[in-house]
Amino acid sequence: MNRENKMKSQRRGAGFSLIELMVSVAILLAVMAGVFSEVAKLQKVSRDEDLKRELFQNAREFLDQFSRDVHGSGSPNQRNFVTANDSKAYVAVGLVKVGDSELDFEGDVHGDGLVSSVSYRYTAAAFTGQTTVTCPCIERAEISKLDNTAPMNQADVTGNGNHYAALQNVLAPTNTTPIFSYFDKNGANLNITTPIDISSVAGAQTISQIRSIRVFINVQAATPDLEIARKTASALTEEVKLNNY
């Protein structure tokens, strides 16, 4: 009896067997694999949410900038002065050139009484020498209006302004979803596709009917969503009324 108890005591003091240890390690590895899998999934979700938030925030900031610019279009205009002409630096013509993927205008966009020439253009190609810009994108340019220079000869209108990428990763517009759409005082779409400007009588007459501008942007993330294995896209639109007409 004492011998049997002694043997049992020796077995208890010997610790785990190899099989028991291997089973314990396997269970531990399985638990750890599950934990790390969930951590990796949470990291993916957090990363994708950050990308979506950044994508939406950039697009929202662009629309806010565009809205502020357009609200300043056409002010101060020729009616504010006794004698002035459209070529004077202190006179804002307002809309100069419009199209479904480009827009040029003059106005006090900073509220400081100074007139700027502003340009927005959709471009599919990256700028020369710009390695950090992801196009298709929408460019913006702004210069102080040049004195004694006709609106059509301002640098931004001729494409020689200081253009930069105001919004990157913009998907190409379609016939049904142009970047810019133009509406008259009754809300009717003027269906301007081919660019027109104020240098011609017909162009100036059509432009004079514009009372609001709708901008539509469809932006796509630069990298794919890790969960769904495709790039996240977001579409935003805003209609801005012209204040100074």
pTM: 0.77
Instruction: Indicate whether 6 pLDDT > 70.
Output: no
How large is the average pLDDT for residues 26-49? 74
How large is the average pLDDT for residues 15-26? 76
H or E element in which residue 238 lies: strand 230-241
3-state secondary structure of 144: strand
Work out the end-to-end distance of the chain between its first and last CA atoms, rounded to an integer number of angstroms. Answer: 111
* Contact indicator for 141, 170 with CB cutoff of 8 Å: no
**Lookup result for tokens 């469809």:** 218
**How far is 84 from 90, CA to CA, in rounded Å?**
9
Beta strands in 29-131 (DSSP E): 95-98, 102-107, 116-123
Confidence of residue 211 (pLDDT cuts 50, 70, 90): very high
Confidence of residue 206 (pLDDT cuts 50, 70, 90): very high
What are the sequence ranges of the domains in the chain? 49-241
Count other C-beta atoms under 10 Å from residue 243's C-beta: 12
**Lookup result for tokens 């565009």:** 66
Indicate the DSSP class of residue 32.
Answer: H
Average pLDDT, the chain: 84
**How far is 118 from 93, CA to CA, in rounded Å?**
12
CA dihedral angle for residue 8, residue 14, residue 20, residue 22, rounded to 10 degrees: -170
Q: Which residues contact 155 (CB under 8 A, 6 or more apart)?
A: 117, 141, 143, 146, 161
pLDDT of residue 13: 54
Indicate the DSSP class of residue 230.
Answer: E
Q: Which of 3-12, 36-45, 60-69, 160-169 has the lowest mean pLDDT?
A: 3-12
* Contact indicator for 139, 120 with CB cutoff of 8 Å: yes
Instruction: Indicate whether 229 pLDDT > 80.
Output: no
Top pLDDT among 241 and 131 is at 241
